[in-house]
């Protein structure tokens, strides 16, 4: 009887030890994908799937990017208690707390880590690989173009030709009210008309004027763009009455599910079709693995596995689905850097320049 009891005890101990060994790693994560963020539910679903697939666990600290959240994030990163972070540039953390983007790229090539100079920290290091960018681009109603027998333009010259054909058929080519809120259109036209490496310089402003002149000459902004408000222009695009519109990532929130499959977003078509690799705009948030996690083999392996999921998820990048969501993911993923914005490059002279450019070129 004692032998049987001893055997049962030994078996129970083996089961306990086996169960303990089977428990996966716990990854402590900070992201902004919570509360009112469009990706909150998709993020929760992704975490659940990952935990089921791997046997690991997420201790989630996602929340709004306010001071309280950032303070907790930094405290836990500095104390070695956090593992994966999604945060903006300029948090105050350094390479002492976070593995650099170069280290992460070398250790985990499967992640496709990109090192953007626009994400350089104040101390000169690059610690984050981009997850979201704050971008501006050209929205295109591909269904409307197809109805007119036209294709999505890939060069500024093609864009001008497409606009001329649409205008001749009575279709508004580009729904931007150039006398009312022209900033985003001018940012994009600067990339259309001059090399990305010169963005924000005098050549960039001259390139924007040249691109605007080419498009205005064929009626790209309508027969009387001065009479249109930007709200009218946006509604014309959202209702399917205009073929294209220069706008920011925020427009994607307003595009209906029905229209999302008919619309794509593309980088501004450049003069001669020169590939720039730049997204018009600035960094949003990027991903990092803490140094304490990176130097712990078990934690690093689990964190990298989770990061693969995060970086591959279209639902974390775009509030829209369908063709629009896929094109936003492509725009974001293909960007090798950000241009910044014309106003930021010349805050003192931008307003007077933009008024002069629009007044002289769009009658």
Residue-wise pLDDT tens digits, 156-170: 999 999 999 999 999
Q: Are 160 and 222 in contact (CB under 8 A)?
A: no
The neighbouring-strand residues paired with 286 are 87, 130
Q: 155 and 92 in one domain? A: no
State which residues form the domain around 261: 135-280+323-329+336-361
The neighbouring-strand residues paired with 331 are none
Mean pLDDT of the chain: 92
Q: 48 and 119 in one domain? A: yes
Is a pLDDT exceeding 70 seen at residue 9? no
Q: 154 and 40 in one domain? A: no
Q: 123 and 166 in one domain? A: no
What is the average pLDDT across 188-214?
95
pTM: 0.91
Does 345 fall in a domain?
yes
What is the average pLDDT across 82-106?
97
Does 12 fall in a domain?
no
Is a pLDDT exceeding 50 seen at residue 29? yes
pLDDT at residue number 361: 64
3-class secondary structure, 300: helix
Q: 185 and 86 in one domain? A: no
pLDDT at residue number 245: 98
Nearest residue to 131 via CA among 108, 149, 111: 111
Report the share of the chain in percent with pLDDT over 70: 93
Q: 259 and 309 in one domain? A: no
Does 160 fall in a domain?
yes
CATH code where residue 245 lies: 3.40.190.10
What is the Cα–Cα distance from 134 to 125, expressed in whole angstroms?
21
Does 38 fall in a domain?
yes
What is the average pLDDT across 249-254?
96
pLDDT at residue number 362: 62
pLDDT at residue number 182: 94
Q: Are 35 and 64 in contact (CB under 8 A)?
A: yes
Q: 171 and 40 in one domain? A: no
pLDDT digits (tens, 9 = 90+) for 299-339: 999 999 999 999 999 999 999 999 999 999 999 999 999 99
| Cα–Cα separations (whole angstroms), residue 220 to 160, 213, 223, 357 | 8, 10, 8, 16
What is the Cα–Cα distance from 24 to 303, expressed in whole angstroms?
12
Is a pLDDT exceeding 50 seen at residue 31? yes
**26 φ, ψ (degrees, to nearest 5):** -105, 125
Is a pLDDT exceeding 60 seen at residue 6? no
Q: 101 and 216 in one domain? A: no
Q: Are 275 and 336 in contact (CB under 8 A)?
A: no
Q: 59 and 124 in one domain? A: yes
Q: 151 and 129 in one domain? A: no
Task: Name the more confident of 81 and 180.
Answer: 81
Q: 306 and 258 in one domain? A: no
Nearest residue to 177 via CA among 128, 229, 219, 103: 229
């Amino acid at each position: 009887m004692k032998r049987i009891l001893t055997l049962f005890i030994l078996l129970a101990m083996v089961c306990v030890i086996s169960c303990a060994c089977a428990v996966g790693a716990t990854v402590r994560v900070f992201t902004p994908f919570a509360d009112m963020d469009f990706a909150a539910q998709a993020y929760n679903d992704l975490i659940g799937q990952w935990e089921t697939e791997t046997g690991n666990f997420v201790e989630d600290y996602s929340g709004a990017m306010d001071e309280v959240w950032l303070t907790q994030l930094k405290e836990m990163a500095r104390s070695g208690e956090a593992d994966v972070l999604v945060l903006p540039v300029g948090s105050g953390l350094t390479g002492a707390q976070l593995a650099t983007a170069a280290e992460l790229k070398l250790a985990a090539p499967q992640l496709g880590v990109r090192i953007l100079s626009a994400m350089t920290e104040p101390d000169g290091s690059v610690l984050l690989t981009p997850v979201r960018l704050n971008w501006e681009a050209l929205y295109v109603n591909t269904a409307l173009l197809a109805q007119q027998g036209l294709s999505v333009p890939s060069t500024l010259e093609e864009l001008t030709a497409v606009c001329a054909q649409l205008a001749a058929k009575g279709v508004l080519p580009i729904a931007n009210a150039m006398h009312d809120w022209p900033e985003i259109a001018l940012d994009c036209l600067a990339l259309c008309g001059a090399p990305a490496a010169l963005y924000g310089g005098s050549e960039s402003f001259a390139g924007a004027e040249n691109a605007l002149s080419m498009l205005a000459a064929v009626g790209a902004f309508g027969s009387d763009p001065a009479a249109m408000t930007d709200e009218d222009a946006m509604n014309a695009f959202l209702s399917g009455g205009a073929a294209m519109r220069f706008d920011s990532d925020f427009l994607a929130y307003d595009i209906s599910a029905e229209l999302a499959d008919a619309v794509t977003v593309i980088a501004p078509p450049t003069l001669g079709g020169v590939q720039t690799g730049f997204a018009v705009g600035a960094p949003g948030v990027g991903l990092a693995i803490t140094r304490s996690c990176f130097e712990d083999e078990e934690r690093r392996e689990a964190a990298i596995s989770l990061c693969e999921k995060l970086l591959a998820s279209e639902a974390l990048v775009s509030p829209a689905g369908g063709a629009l969501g896929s094109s936003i993911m492509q725009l974001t993923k293909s960007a090798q850097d950000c241009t910044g914005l014309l106003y930021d490059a010349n805050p003192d002279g931008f307003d007077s320049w933009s008024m002069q450019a629009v007044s002289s070129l769009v009658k």
